[in-house]
Amino acid sequence: MKNATARLMAEFLGTFILVLFGAGVVLSGGDLGAIALANGFAILISVAAFRHISGAAFNPAVAIALWVTRRMPALDAISYVVAQLLGGLLAAFILKTAYGSYAQTVGVPTLAQPIAPGYGLLIETLTTFILMMVIMGTAIDGRSTFNGVAGIPIGFTVAAGILFSGPLTGGAMNPARWFGPAVASGQLTNFWIWIVGPIVGAILAAFIYDVVVKPKK
């Protein structure tokens, strides 16, 4: 991997910012709109700051989808996932330390009371599918009008996804966004929803974009 240290640090920092801001607003008592904006802005500024260094995945599901579609070598994808998980974990433990007894949940995404696990899985799959489709159409496909400012539509998509799915599943769309707070709080119930859903959604979006949506050269 060329420039491995810089690329992995960029992925670590981008995911750290996402969890610090996204989970931090939850702990501070922000409403749904504030949580959506915090996560969306975190992705927007991280993509702007680090995309030219690492490509700005900041999401294990995205890294895995890029590997499956042969856009990223396996070793790079594994390294990205590890860096992302560690970034989210550090942010969560900083929040837990800062908020003390108020940080029982550390902002971990959870299912709403009436939501069945299977429906939660569907929601995380669908929202991540939409997010990955936007990533493919703006950041990955160099012919996009928004390629140079891909962080804007991607950040808006994250915010919109949380406005929709936040009340249902917590709106993670990202295993690392769930992983750090879940480990820090010890809340691992239905863990597979926030791992399997985003990964399946991202892979499906990448394949469908390549086979069906992508404009011909």
For residues 33-42, one letter each, b for 16 or more C-beta atoms within 10 angstroms of the residue's C-beta and e for the rest, the string is eebbbbbbbb
For residue 160, which amino acid is it? A
Residue 145: per-residue pLDDT: 83
By the 8 A CB rule, do 92 and 19 touch?
yes
Residue 144: per-residue pLDDT: 83
Q: Which residues of the chain have pLDDT under 70?
A: 1, 101, 215-217
Residue 93: per-residue pLDDT: 96
Residue 217: per-residue pLDDT: 60
What pTM was computed for the model?
0.94
Residue 66: per-residue pLDDT: 98
Residue 105: per-residue pLDDT: 84
Residue 104: per-residue pLDDT: 77
Residue 47: per-residue pLDDT: 97
